[in-house]
Amino acid sequence: MTAVDSRPRAGLASTPRPPRTVRQVVSGYLALTKPRIIELLLVTTVPTMFLAAGGVPSLGLVLATLAGGSLAAGSANTLNCYLDRDIDVVMHRTERRPLATGLVSPREALVFGTVQGLAAVAWLTVTVNGLAAALALGAILFYVCIYTMTLKRRTPQNIVWGGAAGCMPVLIGWAAVSGSLSWVPVVLFGVIFFWTPPHYWPLSMRFRDDYAAAGVPMLPVVAEAPVVARQIVRYSWAMVATSLLLWPVAGTTPFYAGSATVLGAAFLLESHRLQRRVRGAVAGDLPAAALAPMRLFHWSISYLTLLFVAVAIDPLLH
């Protein structure tokens, strides 16, 4: 385990607040919620609801669940930005975030994130059910307290275990429809759990210097590239195997099985290609710039989206 013994604070106290227009303030608050991450989370929620319903769930229930899930994710992401504001000013990738630029104050972000979280739990309790609300609260607390406050700055396993928060939408979606949990959403949870490292580590490889400067021990910071590539391949295989497990557990049709097989094969091919490029760079056959880890990062988003589209379509074929 690698310890990070200090938090970079440079630039926070001296960052003046720029003049703000209403449009800038609204954009700043929206940016704190990280809308692109929320979109990806919702992509996994709706198909899970289709699977739980064995067809098309109630539109009102879907909208209520998405609204509550968006508030919960927005809360977690906003509080993450609040807690990480010191390192965001150090990293080029995040230096334009609202707290880093002073567009939104830390107090404003803290209040905004807290209100979103309370609203999410209350909304889901009233419009969906208590289990969905409890799972949403658990996801917020896990992402903020376990990942952001405990794991992120202390261990290269941060994204492995911290990524569990991003798996919660499938449990929430299933609970919203059924009012309970079963092995089916647990398998879907496992797919996203094993997907997170090969999704995030290529991004960490690309911005390795940023994380190193901020003192965040992402695996590419503390381990050599061949080790990172080997771990990416291992998690990719585990992800594909788990995705295929859904076929017997959920009783899906051959459509899902075929889709998961083709998409999984494509993912494995891309992960092995990254490993070969890393080996080539280490051997001196390729320049470091040729690693192109973002190819796998971008493909991982397409993979997860398409896999869950197959999850949504499958119950309609029964």
Per-residue confidence (pLDDT) for residue 18, from 0 to 100: 57
* Long-range contacts of the stretch 146-154 (C-beta < 8 A, 24+): 147/80, 148/79, 148/80, 148/83, 148/84, 149/83, 152/84, 152/216, 153/4, 153/7, 153/215, 153/216, 153/217, 154/1, 154/2, 154/3, 154/4, 154/217
**Mean pLDDT over each residue of the chain, to the nearest integer:** 92
Percent of the chain at pLDDT above 70?
Answer: 94
Summarised one tens digit per residue, pLDDT across range 130-153 is 999 999 999 999 999 999 999 999
How far does Cα 44 stand from its chain's mean position?
A: 11
Superfamily of domain 25-179: UbiA prenyltransferase (1.10.357.140)
What's the pTM?
Answer: 0.91
Is 182-318 the same fold as 25-179?
A: no
- Domain 182-318, CATH 1.20.120.1780 — does that match? yes
pLDDT at 8: 46
285-313, pLDDT tens digit by residue? 777 777 899 999 999 999 999 999 999 99
Contacts of 278 (CB under 8 A, 6+ apart): 225, 226, 228, 229, 291
Domain borders along the chain are 25-179, 182-318
pLDDT confidence band for 283 (50 / 70 / 90): confident
Query: How far is the CA of 212 from the CAs of 80, 82, 93, 154, 240, in angstroms?
Result: 19, 20, 13, 13, 31
Q: Are 172 and 187 in contact (CB under 8 A)?
A: no
